[in-house]
């Protein structure tokens, strides 16, 4: 009963925002697999840090998921689900080595959290298993999406306006394009290695 009321509220909120916000959708081509598309920082606008934590698991000597997009200020919980020791570190965020960090090591079943206050691409590594890798894409705005395997994406609830939109793909050169959002807007990207 309570839950139904909540779902109703969310639906209503979605309806009201839809009244004055648009959608960016399109396709990232030139690469295969998942990419991340996000709206770059908007002058004069800040966003509250999301309360919801995002989980990245270390399981079977792999990070899962391999690519995670979050909004700036999101706290990511790193879980070790393996009975071997892992570690999580990154040497930079979008090439800025001052933002490098090492979270150390923790046993199976435990979590270590980190709040990503700086936007950019965070390449996660494990210093025990050099083959392990993952990416956290910290979007400066809450307007971001991960593409499906074919490269299709949809960012919803973007207020109408002019933005810079960036597409990122592992191992490819990122691309930023100006996009004028007015209702349902299409923005395609072609990335290359």
104 binds another protein (CB under 8 A): yes
Q: Are 53 and 123 contacting, i.e. CB atoms less than 8 angstroms apart?
A: no
Binding site for Cu ion (CB under 5 A): 86, 126, 128-129, 132
Q: Which is nearer to Cu ion, 40 or 82 (CB)?
A: 82
What is the spatial distance between Cα 99 and Cα 13, in angstroms, rounded to a whole number?
Answer: 36
Of residues 40 through 59, those in contact with another protein by CB under 8 A are 59
Taking CB under 8 A as the criterion, the residue among 25, 66, 111, 129 binding another protein is: 129
What is the spatial distance between Cα 63 and Cα 129, in angstroms, rounded to a whole number?
Answer: 11
Residue 61 CB, nearest approach to another protein (Å): 5
Taking CB under 8 A as the criterion, the residue among 85, 99, 121, 133 binding another protein is: 85
Q: Which does 82 bind (CB under 5 to 8 A by kind): another protein, Cu ion, none?
A: another protein
105 binds another protein (CB under 8 A): yes
Exposure pattern of 81-110 as b/e (b: 16+ CB <10 Å)?
Answer: ebeeebbbebeebeeeeebeeeeebbeeee
Q: Are 171 and 185 contacting, i.e. CB atoms less than 8 angstroms apart?
A: no
Q: Are 26 and 188 contacting, i.e. CB atoms less than 8 angstroms apart?
A: yes
97 binds another protein (CB under 8 A): no
Residue 92 CB, nearest approach to another protein (Å): 16
What is the spatial distance between Cα 43 and Cα 160, in angstroms, rounded to a whole number?
Answer: 14
Residues in contact with another protein by CB under 8 A are: 59-62, 82-85, 87, 89, 102, 104-105, 107, 126-131
């Amino acid at each position: 009963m309570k839950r139904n009321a909540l779902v109703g509220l969310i639906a209503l909120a979605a309806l009201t925002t839809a009244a004055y916000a648009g959608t960016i959708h399109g396709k990232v081509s030139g690469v295969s697999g998942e990419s991340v598309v996000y709206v770059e920082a908007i002058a004069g606008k800040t966003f509250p840090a999301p309360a919801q934590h995002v989980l990245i698991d270390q399981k079977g000597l792999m990070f899962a998921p391999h690519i995670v997009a979050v909004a700036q200020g999101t706290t990511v919980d790193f879980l070790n689900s393996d009975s071997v020791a892992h570690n999580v570190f990154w040497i930079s965020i979008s090439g800025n080595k001052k933002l490098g960090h090492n979270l150390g090591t923790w046993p199976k079943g435990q979590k270590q959290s980190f709040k990503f206050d700086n936007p950019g691409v965070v390449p996660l590594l494990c210093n025990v298993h050099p083959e392990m890798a993952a990416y956290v894409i910290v979007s400066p705005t809450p307007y971001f999406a991960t593409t499906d395997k074919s490269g299709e994406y949809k960012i919803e609830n973007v207020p109408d306006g002019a933005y810079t939109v960036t597409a990122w793909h592992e191992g490819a050169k990122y691309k930023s394009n100006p996009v004028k959002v007015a209702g349902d807007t299409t923005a395609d990207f072609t990335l290359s290695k």
